[in-house]
Amino acid sequence: MKLIAINGSPRKNWNTATLLNKALEGAASQGAEIELINLYDLKYRGCISCFACKRKDGQHGKCAMKDDLTNILERLETADAIIFGSPIYYMNITAGMTALLERLLYSHSIYSSEIPTIYPKKIQTGFIYTMNATEKYIEESGYKLSLKPHQDFITRMLGKPVELLYSYDTYQFSNYEKYESSIFSEEAKAKQKSEQFPVDCQKAFDMGVRFATNA
């Protein structure tokens, strides 16, 4: 069983990456082969609407763009499960993660009512989100609705319902004193980091275990 995690944060050692690494650790504890891809190490663009993947005489399921994502898209097809991870930027996933999903999902989608997806297999997927906002704010604001479209497309294109994990109220700066951040209480952030973040890490670990054992 192979699990690939994709980090859509530009930061390689912060909240999103930590949770993804926990999920990989969980999967590895069950003997899974694991890999982490840091999107912000790569140079690539989102879909350019060339429609090569839709041509009747073309290569369905293959994105024709040639850049650092070409090889990654091929590697993703070898995975039995994929966990996406993204910080919330302006109420949505990051630009890097959006561009990856455009390339991955659109190249495997087909404009036919009978078969919406030509992904080679049905795989388990997860999405881990990290954000500054508190759980209370997220629930009361209806914020989660902005995340539903990509969740629905992942489920539809990759074949199984995407599992979700939200990590709220994350610790954002290495030193709050150095940054203008007076709307936050560093004390409350530190409490969340020491009390809730480990719980979120355990949930991520459990997701990895579940994916490895269910595959």
Among 3, 6, 15, 22, binds ligand FMN (CB under 6 A): 15
Which tokens sit at 145? 């609705």
- 72 vs 147, which CB is nearer to ligand FMN? 147
**Rg from Cα positions in the chain:** 18
Q: What secondary structure letter does DSSP report for 10?
A: S
Start-end of H helices in 33-182: 68-76, 95-107, 135-141, 148-158
Subset of 130-149 contacting ligand FMN (CB under 6 A): 130-133
- Tell whether residue 21 is a contact of ligand FMN (CB under 6 A): no
- Tell whether residue 181 is a contact of ligand FMN (CB under 6 A): no
- 6 vs 212, which CB is nearer to ligand FMN? 6
Residue partners of 121: CB distance under 8 A and separation at least 6: 80, 159
- Tell whether residue 11 is a contact of ligand FMN (CB under 6 A): yes
- Tell whether residue 88 is a contact of ligand FMN (CB under 6 A): yes
CA 108 to chain centre: 18
Subset of 101-130 contacting ligand FMN (CB under 6 A): 130
From the CB of 36, what's the least distance to ligand FMN, in Å? 13
- Tell whether residue 16 is a contact of ligand FMN (CB under 6 A): yes
Among 9, 21, 109, 192, binds ligand FMN (CB under 6 A): 9
- Tell whether residue 37 is a contact of ligand FMN (CB under 6 A): no
From the CB of 176, what's the least distance to ligand FMN, in Å? 12
- 92 vs 151, which CB is nearer to ligand FMN? 92
On the CB side of 211, CA atoms within 13 Å amount to: 38
Rounded Cα gap, residues 66 and 133, in angstroms:
37
Among 42, 52, 64, 91, binds ligand FMN (CB under 6 A): 91
- Tell whether residue 162 is a contact of ligand FMN (CB under 6 A): no
3-state secondary structure 60-91: CCCCCCCCHHHHHHHHHCCCCEEEEEEECECC
Please choose, out of 15-23, 56-64, 179-187, 199-207, the segment that lies near ligand FMN by the rule CB under 6 A: 15-23
Which candidate, 64, 8, 69, 62, places its Cα nearest to that of 44?
69
Which candidate, 46, 30, 40, places its Cα nearest to that of 6?
40
Binding-site ranges for ligand FMN (CB under 6 A): 9, 11, 14-17, 87-91, 130-133, 170, 172
